[in-house]
């Protein structure tokens, strides 16, 4: 029986992870990128010079399921104890516990790295992600009305926070 694991993202995974992300760019409001991401853009998302902000590939045995990131909330010293949590799964792998596994592992890593607060910034109509983070104890801490535009629609953003 395969087991879920996180592995640090490396350059060899970049094409497949870019493809996973671009599905959401083309078909959903999960991300507000309106144009497909190229390899250089994806590299900027996944590779941070600061080792406190890692990206991990999520595997179920040998199957690449997606990726997750601890990212800068804002690049200012005042936010050094805060990270933004991001998870993207290959389309069709939702609701199998993979996202839950990834977020819980990121929380463990965040504690080891000395973070105090974790944030999830989500399009308000993304019920899957809002449900995931709520189920893991994240509390809604902000709501931004009509701050994003995609597919000709104005979209709301909700922010969830967990003190770890």
What digits encode the pLDDT tens for the residues 16-36? Answer: 999 999 999 999 999 999 999
**Whole-number mean pLDDT of the chain?**
95
CATH superfamily for 4-120 is Gcn5-related N-acetyltransferase (GNAT) (3.40.630.30)
CA distances from 31 to 53, 101, 122 (A): 20, 21, 8
- This prediction has a pTM of 0.93
Per domain, the residue ranges of the chain are 4-120
pLDDT computed for residue 2 by the predictor: 61
Instruction: Give the Cα separation of 163 and 106 in Å (integer).
Output: 13
User: Do the beta carbons of residue 37 and residue 22 sit within 8 Å?
Assistant: yes
- Whether the per-residue pLDDT at 1 is higher than 50: the answer is no
SS (H, E, C) 2-42: CCEEEEECCHHHHHHHHHHHHHHHHHCCCCCCCCCCCHHHH
- Which one, of 146, 103, 96, lies nearest residue 124 by Cα? 146
Helix axes 98-112, 127-135, angle to 10 degrees: 50
């Amino acid at each position: 029986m395969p087991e879920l694991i996180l592995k640090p993202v490396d350059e060899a995974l970049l094409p497949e992870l870019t493809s996973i992300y671009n599905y959401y760019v083309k078909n959903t409001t999960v991300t507000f990128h309106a144009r497909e991401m190229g390899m250089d853009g994806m590299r900027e998302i996944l590779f941070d010079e600061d080792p406190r902000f890692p990206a991990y590939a999520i595997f179920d045995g040998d199957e690449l399921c997606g990726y997750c990131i601890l990212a800068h909330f804002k690049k200012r010293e005042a936010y050094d104890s805060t990270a933004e949590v991001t998870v993207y799964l290959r389309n069709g792998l939702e609701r199998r516990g993979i996202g839950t596994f990834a977020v819980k592992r990121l929380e463990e890593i965040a504690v080891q790295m000395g973070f105090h607060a974790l944030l999830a910034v989500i399009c308000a109509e993304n019920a899957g992600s809002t449900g995931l983070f709520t189920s893991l104890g994240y509390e809604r801490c902000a709501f931004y009305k009509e701050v994003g535009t995609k597919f000709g629609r104005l979209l709301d953003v909700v922010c969830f926070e967990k003190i770890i």
